[in-house]
Amino acid sequence: MLSHDEDQVRAVIWREDALELLDQRLLPMETCYRRLTDAAAVAEAIHDMVVRGAPAIGIAAAYGVVLAARAHYARYPDRWRTLIDEDVQRLAASRPTAVNLCWALRRMEGVIAECADDPTARLLAEAQAIHAEDIAANRQMGELGAAALGKRGAVLTHCNAGALATGGYGTALGVIRSGYAAGLIERVYADETRPWLQGARLTAWELVQDRIPVTLLADGAAAALMRQGQVRWVIVGADRIAANGDVANKIGTYGLAVAARHHGVRFMVVAPTSTVDLEMADGRGIPIEQRSAEELLTLGGQPVAAAGVDVWNPSFDVTPAELVDVLVTERGVIWAPDAAKMAGMMEHRPY
């Protein structure tokens, strides 16, 4: 059995002065790392979902700033600040919903503001710190979330909130890894997660690599599974959490929360505090990324829908806080999150 201190997957690697991203569009059929050497390529990779998952996006963007600094200071030592700023803006626009992206870029901008000369070394140290902090936070959340599970049973997850979506170990899958190692999780049910099939291609793949029992199901089958009493918890990640505890996550999460409440299944959200946006009062203001119609009209490049049909393809939805039983961050566990509890957690110093 896999130790709860390990995972077999890394989506983001800094190696030999370049960023290597595991191309998640090709999984599980092909394992291919793309080597990126400039910020524009990183922004494109984020937009095109070579890398995805809010924490991983933020880490990749931080390394993108390092690449921008190295290129611009070497060629234009008198204009590097302006040129880096243009790259930062390009990176920030690559995916609008995940707040970790802007959070990581703000940290990098703070370092830039303190640098009079070549900022590359200090920016690399900051990006590596963001990466390491994310892995540490995931391991902490894994332990905290597993402790909240109670008695042994099966869980359901949606999309991919594992090592592939983070610096390593995972948020929702971090809890699942820790819970399985502790004997509290007997099986994981994974929604296929249309239209990008992150559950089928990525989550199921991760769990198979780690030898954790996993059963794949169509998104529309989840409520029927709950009705049969097969699931004790739904465990998901998040791309942005508002000040009142509303949660933006992959499209389909809200429907799971509604079904879970109806069937007496508990609903857990696992995300680092970098995902919390205290400037967003509630979920109504969270920008929801609209993706291309082709993602629904085709599958693997082949048409699967009637020609001429209109498409509505939001990448995320918002689950209201009142449907969240527990929120797990690296700073602790909040049962029945609300604005007051969120504010108290964010004032608390990290471990």
Catalytic residue ranges: 239
Look up tokens 């595991």; give the residue: 22
What does the buried/exposed string (b/e) look like for 94-108 if buried means 16 or more CB atoms within 10 Å of the residue's CB?
bbbbbbbbbbbbebb
The rounded distance, in Å, linking the Cα atoms of 203 and 271 is 16
Q: At what angle do helices 99-114 and 54-75 cross, to 10 degrees?
A: 30
C-alpha Rg value of the chain to the nearest Å: 20
Q: Are 337 and 245 in contact (CB under 8 A)?
A: yes
DSSP single-letter state for residue 203: I
The rounded distance, in Å, linking the Cα atoms of 291 and 196 is 11
Q: Are 211 and 205 in contact (CB under 8 A)?
A: no
Residues 6+ apart with CB under 8 A from 285: 242
Give the C-alpha distances (Å, rounded to integers) separating 148 from 79, 114, 117, 257, 259. Answer: 52, 42, 48, 18, 21
Amino acid at 343: A
The rounded distance, in Å, linking the Cα atoms of 71 and 80 is 9
- The SS3 assignment for 260 reads helix
Four-residue CA torsion sign, 43, 45, 48, 54: negative
Residues 6+ apart with CB under 8 A from 166: 11, 53, 55, 56, 59, 134, 135, 138, 174
